[in-house]
Amino acid sequence: MNLEKVVFGFFIILAMTLNFGFVIGELDNVAHHHVYELFAVVVVNLIATVLKFGERTQIGAIHLATSFVADLQLIAAAAVWAVAVHITDTGLTPPVMASIVSLAAGALMANVLSVIILIIETVLFHR
Amino acid sequence: MHSVLFLVLRRMRLPLILLISSYAVSILGMSLVPGVDGNGNPTPGMSLFHAFYFVSYTATTIGFGEIPTVFSEAQRAWALVTIYMTVLVWLYSIGTILALLQDPAFRRVIKSSTFERAVRRLRQPFYIICGCGETGGLLMQALDNRNQQAVVLDIDPERIGELDLGQYHFDIPALTADVRLPENIVAAGLNHPSCAGVIALTNDDQANLAVAVAAKLLRPELPVLCRADRLETAGNMASFGTEEIVNAFEAFGEHLAMALHSPGQHLLYDWLTDIPGQPLSEPLRPPRGKWIICGYGRFGKAVVRNLRREGIELVIIEADPATTDCDDCIIGSGTEAHTLIEAGIKNAVGIVAGTDNDVNNLSIVMTARELEPELFMVLRQNRHANAPLFQRFGAAVTMQSADIVGHEFLSLLTTPLLSRFFVRCKERPDDWANELLSRIAAVIGDTVPEVWDVELSRENAVAIRQAMDLDMELTLHDLIRDPRDRDAYLPCIPLMLGNSEALLPDLETPLFPGDRILFCGDKDARGRQVLALRNLKVLNYLHSGTDSPGGWFWQWLARRPQSSPGSRLH
């Protein structure tokens, strides 16, 4: 067992689970999506991205790419949130919430892919 | 791409993760800690957006302090934690990342990838120059003057750094690299379609050999030009098809012999291979009689071989006859007066100071000048750093390897016809060369002429081909008329026809497609000649003296029967 691999796997899976937790619920219902959950997803995703730096393999490159996609989508979601609440007077209306959650759902796809790649990599390694 | 880049990325992991974590903790805490409003009533605390804003300006030590309401005591306590945690982590992380960017290995990777990109983008033919010491520098300057692109490799970072100080028209891609490694030559564009040739002129014979082998194996059709200081290396290079091998010592010996038997030919060679625009050199007139050769190493042997062929009487002085295989020589270094007197300096006409030690060489000629001031002195200079001493002494000939190799390569590269011209010249008497010299001086003036060859191909001389398609009978005459006034001539001389190798061709020689002609002349002359080669109207004016009509209207006007054929229309 390798501690580095444990930490690596932990963050990638945590990114996916947190992301799932944020997305699940009614798309435009403000009560179903908490801001701290989005915060946690962003932070864990950023850490997962940094952990993927410096992998030389082809699989490592795909890993990094999926992470970048997830980061991009999540930061966009957070930005929409901040703009709606603080910069314009829109507030968290159902349409705003819907666009935040759909952006985060996109990130979830990327995170799921990332986990699938992780599993494939592990299977290949053991063969 | 390169392992170093991945290493750097890997080493950035820890600082970046620390940075993200400390931000996350601070922002989270700041948003959870309750605050107060203007009236002292408790509020739920900052939103995440405000907390991120606060942490961002705190961590980076910018310290805005612009959040509207006063902090509660709890918020102040957490702000303290935030400050000490994030500021330290920020400084550490940014410091580490900046240090990584300054990492020599990382910078090297960046440099070599910029170099490779620059080489990949080259669109015009270029030469790969391995080694940019004195010879390389000279060659680069001259290639640059003649509008030839070069790519440079050298093992010494200082020399590569000096390139930035040089004044070149071209942007010359340069890289600090060991040319003995084939991957470096490939990076310099060996497999690039525009690569025109490889030139190896490091001062290490083995490195030059390695370059030649690599180039000949990877791109057998490319010309390879090599410097070789040892005869064995030269033989080795020739054995696998290296096109041109220049041995500075041998070349110098041959030139000295040439100066002895035909000074005019020697001066002609000097003028046509020197850097254009410099003042013309004076003729060299080594006397016939007894010569003393000091030092029988690689240089001494080459000089002795060539002077003996001229039938010159020689006395050799050598300090170590056993290792240099010198069977008939006076033992000594030549720096002492008694050795020189023993060698018969009193009735000698010339002396060659050719040891591999600059101080000894200077000492030899200074002693010799004391004894016999009128001697013809040939002085070998090994190190460029000693140049001021050698200039001050002012021997009749100062031999410098870098200079000789540079000139040889230059004539081989820029004008392939020139070396064949010299071969033909040697068949002519010396008076012929003297006549040509005075003609060059009269036509071009007192600076080194430019030498170029013109190929009447579709790409280089489109007007010539068009004119031939129109059945114009062009002669060499048309190429040397001045486009500004056809009754005047350009300051240039046609030296040789490429196909027949006829020297100084007659001006009435008809031109044919594919002909190559070697010219020497003024720099402006070359530029103006190009006008005639590329523009049919100019060529037509030079040929017939009439300006042909340009637009379709004027052409139609000219075709009408009443317009006289010789009328000048613009």
Give the whole-angstrom CA distance, residue B145 versus residue B131.
Answer: 19
- For residue A54, give the nearest of B13, B17, B47 by CB distance: B13
Neighbours of B185 (CB within 10 A): 26
> Do residues B120 and B23 both lie within one domain?
no
Contact B200, B211 (CB under 8 A): yes
HSE-CB of B288 using CA atoms within 13 angstroms? 11
In SS3 terms, B39-64 reads as: CCCEECCCCHHHHHHHHHHHHCCCCC
Give the whole-angstrom CA distance, residue B122 versus residue B173.
Answer: 10
Q: Which residue from A minimizes the CA distance to B7?
A: A54
Maximum pairwise Cα distance, chain B:
117
Give the whole-angstrom CA distance, residue B292 versus residue B285.
Answer: 17
Residue B110, classified by CB atoms within 10 Å of its CB into exposed (0-12), middle (13-18) or buried (19+), is: middle
Contact B314, B308 (CB under 8 A): yes
> Do residues B132 and B241 both lie within one domain?
yes
- For residue A47, give the nearest of B3, B17, B48 by CB distance: B17
- For residue A53, give the nearest of B9, B28, B49 by CB distance: B9
Give the whole-angstrom CA distance, residue B175 versus residue B351.
Answer: 42
> Do residues B339 and B464 both lie within one domain?
no
Give the whole-angstrom CA distance, residue B281 versus residue B271.
Answer: 7
> Do residues B30 and B70 both lie within one domain?
yes
Closest chain A C-alpha to B55 CA, distance in angstroms: 14
Pairing mode, strands B450-455 and B481-482: unpaired
Give the whole-angstrom CA distance, residue A122 versus residue A114.
Answer: 12
- Is B439 inside a domain boundary? no
- The domain tally of chain A equals 1
* CATH code (residue B547): 3.30.70.1450
HSE-CB of B428 using CA atoms within 13 angstroms? 20
Residue type, B27: I
- Is B348 inside a domain boundary? yes
Whether B13 sits inside 8 A of A50 (CB atoms) is yes
Residue B503 DSSP one-character state = B
- Is B54 inside a domain boundary? yes
pLDDT tens-place values along chain B, 570 residues long: 556 677 777 888 888 899 999 999 999 999 998 888 877 788 888 888 989 998 998 888 888 777 667 888 888 889 899 999 998 998 898 888 888 888 888 888 888 888 988 899 888 889 999 988 878 887 888 788 777 888 999 888 888 888 777 778 888 888 888 888 888 888 898 999 999 889 998 888 889 999 999 999 999 888 888 888 888 888 888 888 887 888 888 888 888 888 888 888 888 888 888 777 788 888 878 888 889 888 888 888 888 888 888 888 888 888 888 777 777 788 888 888 888 888 888 888 889 888 888 898 999 988 888 888 888 888 888 887 888 888 888 888 888 877 788 778 877 777 778 888 888 888 888 888 888 888 888 888 888 888 888 888 877 788 888 888 888 888 888 888 888 888 888 888 888 888 788 888 888 888 888 888 888 888 888 888 888 888 888 888 888 877 766 667 777 776 666 544 444 444
- The domain tally of chain B equals 4
> Do residues B79 and B138 both lie within one domain?
no
Residue type, B514: G
> Do residues B41 and B161 both lie within one domain?
no
Closest chain B C-alpha to A15 CA, distance in angstroms: 14
Scan for tokens 């910029």, then name that residue: B114
A43 Cβ under 8 Å from any chain B Cβ: yes
| Residues of chain B with C-beta less than 8 angstroms from the C-beta of A54 | 6-13
Q: Which residue from A minimizes the CA distance to B8?
A: A54
Quick one: angle between helices B13-32 and B73-102, nearest 10? 170
> Do residues B86 and B121 both lie within one domain?
no
> Do residues B178 and B208 both lie within one domain?
yes
Order of strands, edge to edge, in the sheet holding B492-497?
A: B450-455, B516-521, B492-497
Put simply, the chain B residues between 41 and 80 with a CB less than 8 A from any chain A CB are 47-50
- Is B355 inside a domain boundary? yes
| Residues of chain A with C-beta less than 8 angstroms from the C-beta of B45 | none
Whether A47 sits inside 8 A of B9 (CB atoms) is no
Whether A43 sits inside 8 A of B3 (CB atoms) is no
- Domain with B57, as residue range(s), is 3-102
* CATH code (residue B116): 3.40.50.720
A126 Cβ under 8 Å from any chain B Cβ: no
Q: Which residues pair with B381 in a beta bridge?
A: B400
Maximum pairwise Cα distance, chain A:
57
- Is B434 inside a domain boundary? no
| Residues of chain A with C-beta less than 8 angstroms from the C-beta of B27 | 39
- For residue B20, give the nearest of A46, A53, A82 by CB distance: A46
Residue A84 DSSP one-character state = I
> Do residues B125 and B236 both lie within one domain?
yes
Give which of B6, B10, B13, B17 to mutate to test A binding, by max A Cβ within 10 Å.
B17
- For residue A43, give the nearest of B6, B11, B24 by CB distance: B24
Under 8 Å CB pairs connecting chains A and B tally to 47
- Domain with A65, as residue range(s), is 3-126
Give the whole-angstrom CA distance, residue B319 versus residue B321.
Answer: 6
Complex-level ipTM: 0.81
N- to C-terminal Cα distance for chain A?
Answer: 16
Give the whole-angstrom CA distance, residue B9 versus residue B339.
Answer: 69
Order of strands, edge to edge, in the sheet holding B397-400?
A: B330-331, B313-318, B290-294, B350-353, B376-381, B397-400
- Is B427 inside a domain boundary? no
Residue A13 DSSP one-character state = H
> Do residues B385 and B300 both lie within one domain?
yes
Closest chain A C-alpha to B115 CA, distance in angstroms: 23
Whether B47 sits inside 8 A of A86 (CB atoms) is yes
- Is B441 inside a domain boundary? no
* CATH code (residue B48): 1.10.287
> Do residues B147 and B215 both lie within one domain?
yes
HSE-CB of A127 using CA atoms within 13 angstroms? 6
Residue B123, classified by CB atoms within 10 Å of its CB into exposed (0-12), middle (13-18) or buried (19+), is: exposed
